[in-house]
Amino acid sequence: MLTFTIIIGFFTTALSILIKVIGFPDQMRKNFKRKSTEGVSATFYILSFVSYILWTLHGLLQKDWVVFFGQGLGIITTGIIVYQIFIYRKSK
């Protein structure tokens, strides 16, 4: 039976995956091409990175592998952007 909770869960998962496999990689490519992170909010990406770390740990501790792997992907994608922020801002 399709419940409201299942529908919301599906859309939450689908949008979360799209952000991590389309949105963040698109930003990474733009940063790499420009060799700059000008206009990118360091605060946003650092907070997102820490949030993904905490959610991943939560998933691990709760043995919720969907949360663990889904949020772990966020660690990788935001981690790359945070790395770019530090590398490209140092080179100025």
CA distance 11 to 13: 5
pLDDT of residue 10: 85
The answer to whether the predicted template modeling score (pTM) of the entire model surpasses 0.75 is: yes
Q: Quick one: pLDDT band at residue 90, thresholds 50, 70, 90?
A: confident
Our count of domains for the chain comes to 1
pLDDT value at 67 more than 90: no
How large is the angle between the packed helices 65-90 and 42-62, nearest 10 degrees? 150
Q: What is the dihedral of CA 37, 67, 15, 31, to 10 degrees?
A: 10
The radius of gyration computed from the CA coordinates of the chain, to the nearest angstrom, equals 15
Determine phi and psi for 91, rounding to 5 degrees: -75, -5
CATH number (domain holding residue 30): 1.20.1280.290
In the predicted structure, residue 41 carries a pLDDT above the cut 70: yes
Smallest CA-to-CA distance from 88 within 39, 43, 51, 44 is with 39
Using the predicted structure, report yes or no on whether residue 92 has a pLDDT greater than 70: no
Q: Which domain does 11 fall in, by range?
A: 4-90
